[in-house]
A = this chain, B = another copy of it.
Amino acid sequence: MDGKFFGDLLQTIADRGRALIRPQKGGTGPALSPPDLIGLCQALLSGRGEASGVALAQDVFARYRALGPEDRRQFLATLAERFGPDRKRLEKAIADYAADPNDRRAIELHVAAEPRRQELFRRLNLAPDGTHALVRMREEALRDAAAIPGYEAVDADFTHLFSSWFNRGFLVLRRIDWSTPANILQKIIRYEAVHAIHDWEDLRRRLEPPDRRCFAFFHPQLVDEPLIFVEVALTRNIASSISEVLSEERSPIEADQATTAIFYSISNCQEGLRGISFGNFLIKQVVLELSRDLPGLKTFVTLSPVPGFAGWLARERTKEDGLLSVEERVRLAILDNAAWHADPAVAEGMRPLVESVAARYFLKAKAPNRRPVDPVARFHLGNGARLERINPMGDLSPKGLKQAHGLMVNYLYDLRTIERNHESYAEHGKVAASAAVEKLLTADPAASSSAPVPERA
């Protein structure tokens, strides 16, 4: 019921972008060597760039694309070496500040210390679809970073600019569903990083049923490119395994019958934006969005992998004075048999022990920075979520067994406690956990267990 001038206005960005993605016909004249391309960059930074910036920037990208891998590396290395701050100006600014350390001189110091690459990148951004081209340039460079002398400094500039340009205030949340354009959906298939989407039918099962949702962040300048997306299942209880969620046989429920939203997969899409964090904002905005649309939803949890568990456990099992008792270390050998979970008696027998050990993994084990060992845990706890439940047989796929002996966990997003949890975690490294999880720490896993002791030779 509202005018759409603005949406149409922005459509032109997309059209512009698409037109430019294709290599242009007729090429760009004779190939340039990396030094010549550096010359073009210097021109772009000069007065010529002020007069003809758009055309020059476009030319730089076209010629960069025409370079081979070795020439690209050489070009980036030269950016690292020769487009740092203006040393003379910087030294003068330091001297001035030292003489009279006031705010105005601090500003000049800030400006003088800025590498000239940043202004170069800002001017390259003038090119049609320039942001996209810069993100692709970094994506490639990161793959080759070790082979580019001094690349670290270049990457710091990319990171600084992208953090500003991809400020969360500029992102747009969009629902992804079965009426989304196929070229976007194709990227969802490609970028899914947690539970692979096998084909279009598999994708359809995750988008079309009334109890499924998918949301992504987009940026006005990145044509047809999701930045990050999350897949959500609407249910009546907290799922304890991924097979429950993705089963082909399950019967969908109506969305307004659901009480629980399960975030079962979050995937970053743009390697060129590595280090720019969107996940925190995405989850919180989706929680708000779903709450508004479906007032019946009361619980928002993840169903998350535990990618560091198996590695940690292997290390822990070798320690004499670690978090495991001798007896436990013996019994855990059962997990070395890949088929341990296939026998229900064995599997159920192991459950209390796995739960107990997992509780120690999350609550007691610490990385050198006093944070939990698990990277996914650090992400959700850092967002202010709470470790809600431990699910020993959550993911029995080969990947799930390999990285976590099948373990999955639920993190709870409760908007009322997020801030408090975040602060305790940030300041004291405190891991928020449910009473049930806390209790696992003190319970004796052997007491309730009928798990067989592994046979030993």
Contact = CB atoms under 8 A, between A and B. Distances in A.
A284 B54 CA distance: 10
A452 B384 CA distance: 80
A110 B103 contact: no
Interface in A96-116: 97-98, 101, 103-104, 106-107, 109-110, 113-115
A139 interface: no
A126 to B, nearest CB: 5
A169 B109 contact: no
Nearest to A106: B85
Contacts of A6: 10-11, 13-14, 218, 223-224
Interface string A311-340: 000000000000000000000000000000
With most chain B CB atoms within 10 A of its CB, the pick from A5, A127, A186 is A5
Interface string A416-439: 001101110011000000000000
Interface string A44-56: 0001101111100
A179 B2 CA distance: 7
A84 interface: yes
Contact of A165 (B165, B177, B199): B165
A14 B25 contact: no
Contacts of A131: 169-170
Contact of A47 (B172, B221, B422): B422
Contact of A94 (B54, B85, B98, B177): B98
A147 interface: no
A153 interface: yes
A78 to B, nearest CB: 13
Contacts of A297: none
A178 interface: yes
Contacts of A65: none
B122 A167 contact: yes
A414 to B, nearest CB: 12
Contacts of A53: 168
A2 B15 contact: yes
B2 A4 contact: no
Contacts of A106: 84-85, 90, 113, 115
B47 A426 contact: yes
A103 B180 contact: no
Contact of A179 (B5, B256, B422): B5
B103 A107 contact: no
Interface in A47-72: 47-48, 50-54
Nearest to A256: B25
Contacts of A150: 103
A413 B184 CA distance: 36
Contact of A167 (B15, B125, B174): B125
With most chain B CB atoms within 10 A of its CB, the pick from A6, A80, A177 is A6
A178 B186 CA distance: 10
A47 B423 contact: yes
Given A113-B113, A169-B125, A7 B5 contact: no
B179 A3 contact: yes
Contact of A85 (B110, B168, B221, B421): B110
A418 B126 CA distance: 18
A12 interface: yes
A370 interface: no
27 contacts: A1-B175, A2-B15, A2-B18, A2-B177, A3-B177, A3-B181, A4-B4, A5-B180, A7-B7, A9-B218, A10-B11, A10-B172, A13-B172, A25-B254, A25-B256, A47-B423, A47-B427, A48-B422, A50-B426, A52-B419, A54-B281, A94-B94, A103-B153, A106-B115, A110-B110, A170-B220, A182-B200
> Lowest 6 CB-CB distances: which A-B pairs, in order?
A7-B11, A51-B422, A3-B179, A6-B14, A10-B10, A110-B113
Interface of A: 1-15, 18, 25, 47-48, 50-54, 80, 84-85, 87, 90-91, 94, 97-98, 101, 103-104, 106-107, 109-110, 113-115, 122, 125-127, 130-131, 150, 152-153, 156, 161, 163-165, 167-170, 172-175, 177-186, 199-200, 204, 218, 220-221, 223-224, 254, 256, 280-281, 284-285, 382-384, 418-419, 421-423, 426-427
